[in-house]
Amino acid sequence: LILRLATRMSLVFWGEKYTMPVHGIAHYNFRLERQLMEEVRAFYEKVVGLVLGPRPPFQSFGYWLYANGCDVLHLSEELPDDKRRTGSDLTFDHVALEASSWPQHVALLEAAGVAFSQEFVPATGRRQLFFRDPVGNGVELIFPVGEG
């Protein structure tokens, strides 16, 4: 998995300019009640292809899911006083994950009964699959040139 964000933010604070480099996306996190967390974990393992891996011994329950040896999705148990809405009806639209094996992903989505759309990125030759996870978050799988 390759996630890159090449940008530099500059901040002027009390007349002095500070440069704050951003090197990439470390991970994204869903906070869910435990039963729903199990369903989401299974979906990202079986349908998306992420791998369950080690997680530090935090006080809260949760999972870390990995792609290519990097923890990219953290699942954390929702606290009783911090109930969350499911879905991505706010400004978050989707997360994009680098993938390969286009035909296998299409077959897996179809076998799992997951509705998806396919797109072609003009000028780049890359293919994309878009779908929603069990709680409504958008997921994009983007494939190298020549796949699909």
Strands (E) across 14-126 are located at 16-22, 28-32, 51-53, 62-67, 70-77, 94-98, 116-120
- What pTM did the predictor assign? 0.78
CA distance 76 to 20: 28
pLDDT tens sequence across 114-123: 999 999 988 8
- Predicted local confidence at residue 16, as pLDDT: 67
Three-class secondary structure of residue 90 per DSSP: coil
Q: Give the least confident one: 22-26, 100-104, 125-129, 139-143.
A: 22-26
Digit-coded pLDDT (tens) for 31-63: 888 999 999 999 999 999 999 999 999 988 999
pLDDT in tens, 57-84: 998 899 999 999 999 999 999 887 877 7
**CA proximity to 48, closest of 121, 124, 142:** 142
Q: In this structure, are residues 29 and 124 in contact, taking their beta carbons and an 8 Å threshold?
A: no
Average pLDDT in the chain: 84
Beta bridge partners of 23: none
The total of other beta-carbon atoms located within 10 Å of residue 12's CB is 8
Say whether 37 sits in a helix, a strand or coil.
Answer: helix
Nearest to 98 by CA among 29, 50, 131, 39: 50
